[in-house]
Amino acid sequence: IAFGHAMSVTAVQLATAMGVLANGGRLMRPVLMRRVTNSRGDVVQENLPQVRQEVVPRRTARLVADMLTGCGMCSLRNRRKH
């Protein structure tokens, strides 16, 4: 995904950044499998969400998330007018 001049990010990096905003500024440890069960359905391993670190203050994360939501809503309203 192109971003700016001569900079690019992968889809995983973009999802991680958006996840920080969605999680109140906290960077979470990625989890590929929530749980592993055996043939009887017993949980053998469970991967619960874990915070790696707080990278953005909660208030800032909420403000940016609200701004992004507002931009999306403006775009939808403008699209409906045409």
pTM of the model: 0.64
Using the predicted structure, report yes or no on whether residue 34 has a pLDDT greater than 70: yes
User: 5 or 50, which is more confident?
Assistant: 50
Interatomic CA distance for residues 82 and 80, integer angstroms: 6
Q: How confident is the model at residue 2 (pLDDT cuts 50, 70, 90)?
A: low
pLDDT digits (tens, 9 = 90+) for 44-77: 999 998 999 999 999 999 999 998 888 766 666 6
- Characterise 77 by phi-psi region: left (phi > 0), alpha (psi -120 to 50), beta (else): alpha
Interatomic CA distance for residues 52 and 32, integer angstroms: 16
List beta partners, residue 26: 54
Residue 10 has a pLDDT of 87
User: 4 or 40, which is more confident?
Assistant: 40
